[in-house]
Amino acid sequence: MRLRGGVTLALLVALMVVPAAPAKADPAEPTNYESMVADVEPRTDGVSFRVAGGDAYLTVSAHPGHEVEVRGYFDEPYVRIEADGRVVVNVASPSHRINQSRFGQVGEDDRDSREEDWEVLAENGRYAWHDHRTHWMSEDRPPTVDPSEREQVFPWQVPVVVDGRSAVVSGELTWVPDPSPLPGLIVGLVALLPLLSAGTRRDGGPGLVLATALAATGSATYLALGTPPVGRDLLIVPVLGIVSVVFGVVAVVLRGRRVALVLATAAMVATTPVLLALLPALVRPILPVQSPLLLAAG
């Protein structure tokens, strides 16, 4: 009876140790869409554009001494990067409101809005935003694509002004089919086996749980930190994974004692949502991660 109470307490601790917090409204997630910048015409030295998070955000980066203005959906001034690196956004722009969510819609008065209200949002010469011109504006799959084939969904263009010259950033959105689900299923089953067997193995169970917790936490941390900051969700999943690892380590140290089963159970509970959070990464072809070099370059 005392052991059961200890298990219950461990479960509650594992679930409550991570502070409750709202998830980011539009984090970058594993997806079937890949949006890429193909060209900037005319060429713009000192200014670069790219898509971050698969298809989630269009980003601009300007070296000191260069000025950039991004035009909105109605050709209104939307974003400016000044020569000193200051980033200002026209929060009165209808594009600013529309871009607050991935599927933001045009309002009745948006086309006639010409107000300007500029706010400083950064000082580093970089900015990223949802741009609906660069991604598919529906949760449904495009009706023109074959889900089993890699196909272009549409080409896209975004007008900009760089150092006083008009330019066009062009790219394309591509549908990428799902990979075979078999590898993901195998990985999932292998990850679950230690959790399923841990309860029946007093000596070896904590070690199996710890190994699973370490693998899950490492994968979740890589996905979280590899995602560009603009598209990064709160780091609750990696933190929960760290909690599971701590429980697992203590359970291994106390292996053979009754309390080790309590701690291993708590580690199992904390690891399970981490594994569930990793499932989309196993079944979607495009992950919103970038190399450390790209992240450092911004």
What pLDDT, in 10s, does the model give residues 10-60?
A: 444 444 444 433 334 456 678 889 999 999 999 888 999 999 888 888 999
Residue 132 has pLDDT above 90, yes or no: yes
Given 175, 204, 219, the domain boundary residue is: 175
Is the model more confident about 219 or about 157? Answer: 157
Please state, rounded to an integer, the average pLDDT across all residues of the chain.
78
Query: Where a domain ends, among 175, 190, 215?
Result: 175
Predicted confidence at residue 212, as pLDDT, reads: 81
Note whether 232 and 194 are same-domain residues.
Answer: yes
- At 53 the pLDDT is 82
- Same domain, residue pair 13 and 138: no
**What is the average pLDDT across 96-112?**
74
Alpha-carbon span 89 to 111, nearest angstrom: 18
Is the same domain home to 157 and 191?
A: no
Could you report the per-residue pLDDT of 206-229, keeping only the tens digit for each?
777 887 888 888 777 777 776 666
Q: Are residues 18 and 39 in the same domain?
A: no
Residues of the domain holding 95: 33-175
Same-domain status, 112 and 65:
yes
Same domain, 19 and 49: no
Q: Is 234 in the same domain as 274? A: yes
Predicted local distance difference test score (pLDDT) of residue 1: 45
Domain count, the chain: 2
Mean pLDDT of the 179-197 span: 64
- Counting residues of the chain whose pLDDT is more than 70, the rounded percentage is 71
Assess whether 158 and 273 both reside in one domain: no
For residues 285 and 251, state if they share a domain. yes
pLDDT at 100: 83
Which range scores top for mean pLDDT: 48-52, 54-58, 165-169, 230-234?
165-169
Span 277-288, mean pLDDT?
72
Same-domain pairing of 185 and 170 = no
Q: Where does a domain end: 116, 144, 175?
A: 175
